[in-house]
Amino acid sequence: MRLGIISDTHGLLRPEVFPVFEGVDRILHAGDIGSPTLLTELEAIAPVTAVWGNTDGFDVRRVVPEVVETEIEGFRFLLVHGHQFGMPTPAAINLAYPEAEVIIFGHTHRPLLTIVDQVVTAMNPGGAGPRRFELPASVGIIELEPGIPPRARLVALTAAGED
């Protein structure tokens, strides 16, 4: 199974997302969506599971939860925006949700892919919407196969310094 991982769109779904997410089986959006219509646009690619972030209004909060704990291909996933942790770190999120085997979060707009406690995959796909902090807009891809650790990568949508 191939997952498209996205966060911090803030109402902007860049056209570069479509070719990167081509062929994904499911999309996980880690909050700060911007508008429920953005989720509808992503649904044209694949089914979407999303959480709301700190900048999302009640229109988004009415249709998605704040936290999702789910199993995908036998892996326990946690999907959370991260604002609940101030400046979220994989270690802090892992401490709060020790059962999660894959942690997906956003909020910082800084792409991150790391391993926590030697077995937990943690990914922040970075900000896919309006660019911040001179960082490239980015998303992530995770490939899952039962019995094999998740394979994941970050994908830049723009060059650093490019809008």
Q: Which residues contact 31 (CB under 8 A, 6 or more apart)?
A: 7, 8, 50, 51, 52, 53, 54, 56, 80, 81, 82, 83, 106, 107
Residue range 4-28, pLDDT digits in tens: 999 999 999 999 999 999 999 999 9
Residue range 54-74, pLDDT digits in tens: 999 999 999 999 999 999 999
Compute how many other C-beta atoms are within 10 angstroms of the C-beta atom of residue 161.
9
Match domain 2-156 to its CATH number in 3.40.50.920, 3.60.21.10, 3.40.50.720, 1.10.275.10. Answer: 3.60.21.10
User: Which letter does DSSP use for residue 26 in this model?
Assistant: E
- Looking at residue 131, its pLDDT comes to 76
Residue 161: pLDDT band (50, 70, 90) is low
Whole-angstrom Cα distance, residue 124 to residue 100? 15
